[in-house]
Structure 1
Amino acid sequence: MSPLADLDDQQAVISDESEYPFVDSQYGRKNLKGLRGEFMAMASRCELLARPKQAGSKAQDDKIDQERITQAFSRAMAEVKCIEAKYSRFSENSVLTQINRGAGDWQAIDDETLGLLKFAEHCYRLSQGRFDVTAEPVLALWPFGAGESAAPPSDSKIEAALAQVGFERLIIEDNHFFLPYGMGIDLGGIAKEYAADRAVEVLRRELPEYDLLVNLGGDMIASPGCERPWQIGIEDPHKLDTPARVVTLKSGALATSGHSRRYLLHQGKRYGHIIDPSTGYPIKGAPISVSVFAPSCVVAGMLATLAMLQGEGAEDFLSRQGVVHHIIRG
């Protein structure tokens, strides 16, 4: 396996794919010969896969094609990193950080940001307020990833932060936007899946004669009409790096939401990272893992997250949506 590209390297690492058994929902493998690019983005290991549509075609044998694929992979990776740089709440220079700093004033936003906020509003309505991108003040309190020594926030801090949460308080008028003072936005539940959709669009333009798969940390999308299905391993949360189930994907997306890898462990109590914005605490009764199939990755990811936020009602929620899904409980 090729080593991961350095975070600052703008060239995806390319390797031959003949040795890998399948695509995994966390770490990415595949079962048919082709080319694979790897990089890191959005705190996730990411990969881009390209496989000739016709076995033995000129594209598979042409050495020049590898350079073209390398360039296409690099453009797709740059698209992902551009979205990360624009919408990360952890970056001091991101557009999202500037929006949060401008709370209390009317701000101009571009069409891309407007589209994401409109989609976030749809998520908010569909989830009856459980999916709320204005939960940033609460999310900022929880030190997920800081290690076992980190403590959960106090009840008083959570209560104060909850007073600054509520999508209905935002005002969106054309390309102008008002975020009340003290509030903040976190697009972490949307941006990675949106980036996957954008990346596969780039690859489709550049490599129309290839079957393509984009995998951003387990959220993945295949180009439409793949001649041969990709085999996808849905990770077993009880035995990490091992598939609980292997499924096939010929087109569309598969996204997984869960808390087997991101959580806070304090004094023997485990806190999952998926926060209920109505309480400020991790959702109760949620599955360990929810995987959803949908035409786009951003929709698959949204439905998987919304199902997690339903807690005990995850299965009923997805059944009402009429989507194929796979749920793992403890």
Structure 2
Amino acid sequence: MGGRFDITIVAKNKVTAEKNIDTVIAEISRIENLISDWKPESQVSRVNQNAGIKPVKVDLEVLELTERAIKLSEATKGAFDISFAALDRIWKFDGSMIEMPSAESIKKSVSLVGFSNIILDKEKSTIFLKLKGMKIGFGALGEGYAADKCREMMLAKGIKAGIVNASGDMSTWGIQPNGKDWIVGITNPVKEDAVLVVIPLKNKAIVTSGSYRKFVEFDGKRYSHIINPATGYPSTGLISVTVLGPSAEIANGLSTSTMVLGMEAGKEFLKKYPAYSYLMITDSGNIVYSNDPIFSKMQLSKISPNN
């Protein structure tokens, strides 16, 4: 899925731990081979290759993941949209971009974005993209989904504690061997070698979306990798959104959506998900968080490079 996975397992001995870590790695690879839009042989890639041509039969879990993504798209009125993947032809965050995309090219790419043009047939288990050139991608859900699936698998195997960290999408269960909760640090987005706040976790997931790592700069202005599907331009207003709750997949979708929606609309949107808490950091460094005992203990209200 193009990211780093770190796996921690609490077990009676090293052999058991390593065996289960291998099982987790195999599960991550299995999911990647289903949903990666970078692997041409994956089911999602085949869906993209047949956009505007024909429906493609997929596994039930791919269909259901797509269905959940569409429901989130509906809930955000398009601020989240898995068909945003067509925009990767315009914006590149791998160091290869040498100039700002033209307004015309951005407008053209947005014309291929629209979750309403994703047709699911649950009976036949197919996905069809109505427009030729459309693409779907699970960059904002896939890693969280994989982390959740691995946690479920380990619990089913009797592994009572661990962490699956999918490039920052963290799914935790149980407690540390010393009897304490897992401890997770949220990075200071304006000083990445520093931790802004430390959060204790037990049987919860935590995800941070931010504009401070993957970006390009033109004429002194920063453009982040989180794109507003409606406009085709990078989101603005927030530099970091952390969401905490039961599922890494859902937390990932909520954090990405909130980055696009912005602070005020994001706060209203997140009220629909009372099982999830949030911490937002604005472009100006202001910190806004939900009414959660974990966050309410913090003394920070604003950050700067010296925090």
In structure 2, what is the equivalent of residue 326 of structure 1?
Answer: 279
After superposition, the Cα gap between the structure-2 partners of 1:320 and 1:92, relative to the gap in structure 1 and judged at 3 Å, is closer
What corresponds to 2:299 in structure 1? none
8 Å CA contact 1:137–1:161 kept in 2: the answer is: yes
CA-CA distance at 1:222 after TM superposition: 1.1
1:248-287 pair list within 5 angstroms: 248-285=200-237, 287=238
Residue 152 of structure 2 is aligned with which of 201, 205, 211? 201
**In the alignment, is the contact (CA less than 8 A) between 2:76 and 2:269 conserved in 1?**
no
Gaps of 5+ in 2: 284-307
1:213 corresponds to? 163
CA distance in 1, matches of 2:231, 2:246: 32
Check the 8 A contact 1:224/1:252 in 2, yes or no.
Answer: no
Q: Percent identity?
A: 31
Farther-moved stretch of structure 1 (138-147 vs 220-229):
220-229
SS at match of 1:277: coil
Alignment of 1:17-56 (within 5 A): 42-51=1-10
One-letter code of the match for 1:222?
T
TM-score normalized with structure 1 length = 0.78
What corresponds to 1:307 in structure 2?
258
Q: Which whole-Å CA distance do the structure 1 matches of 2:37 and 2:98 have between them? A: 21
Question: Separation in 1 of the partners of 2:234 and 2:56?
Answer: 32
Q: Kindly indicate whether residue 236 of structure 2 is the aligned counterpart of residue 288 of structure 1.
A: no
Whichever residue aligns with residue 277 of structure 1, its letter is P
Match of 1:72 in 2: 20
Which residue matches 2:106? 158
Per the TM alignment, residue 224 of structure 1 is displaced from its structure 2 partner at its CA by 5.2
Q: Which residue of 2 aligns with 1:120?
A: 69
Kindly report structure 1 stretches of 4+ aligned residues shifted beyond 3 Å: 224-227
1:192 aligns with one of 143, 147, 169: 143
Aligned mate of 2:269, from 310, 317, 327 = 317
Question: TM-score normalized by structure 2?
Answer: 0.84
TM-aligned CA deviation for residue 228 of structure 1: 2.8
- Mapped contact 1:150–1:264 kept (Cα < 8 A): no
- For 1:107, which of 56, 69, 83 is the aligned residue? 56
Deviations 1:129-150 (A, max 9, x none): 1111111212331011215x62
Task: Name the counterpart of 1:176.
Answer: 126
Q: 1:288 is paired with a residue of what secondary structure?
A: strand
- Please state whether the residue corresponding to 1:43 is helix, strand or coil: coil
Over aligned residues, Cα RMSD in angstroms? 1.8
